[in-house]
Amino acid sequence: MTARTIGEVEEIIGVKAHVLRYWEQEFPMLQPKRDKAGRHMFSERDIHILFRLKHLLYERRYTIEGARRQMFAELAGVNQSVHAQIALLRSELLALYHNIQALGRN
């Protein structure tokens, strides 16, 4: 499992670092670890959650509170409708796409 810095995640997700830090405070399901230097290190799970949050907030126009409720429902398995499953798959595909792009830049 590869951990990514906040700068890498900023490029992958397409959201500024200060927004990612804010989302960390607002969405307890995000749990980036810190390395010995104190930098945020995001797991693949965190990145998937960030893609989903971006989709809910920017495309579906949810409020922070609405997105938080939706994420808790999805992660708890309460709302496993076809729509939620498709959205989760979409975020995973976007993560893979961005990982492939990042590999091409190296």
Pairing type for strands 33-34 and 40-42 reads: antiparallel
Residue 60: CB atoms within 10 Å: 12
* Domain extents in the chain: 4-105
CB atoms within 10 A of CB 87: 19
CB distance 34 to 3 below 8 Å: no
Q: Could you tell me the two tokens for 89?
A: 């798959």
Q: What is the mean pLDDT of residues 32-51?
A: 91
Beta bridge partners of 33: 41
Q: State the fold for domain 4-105.
A: Multidrug-efflux Transporter Regulator; Chain: A; Domain 2 (1.10.1660)
Q: What is the pLDDT of residues 65-105, one digit of tens each?
A: 999 989 888 877 654 566 666 777 787 888 888 888 888 87
pTM of the model as a whole: 0.70
CA Rg, the chain, in Å? 14
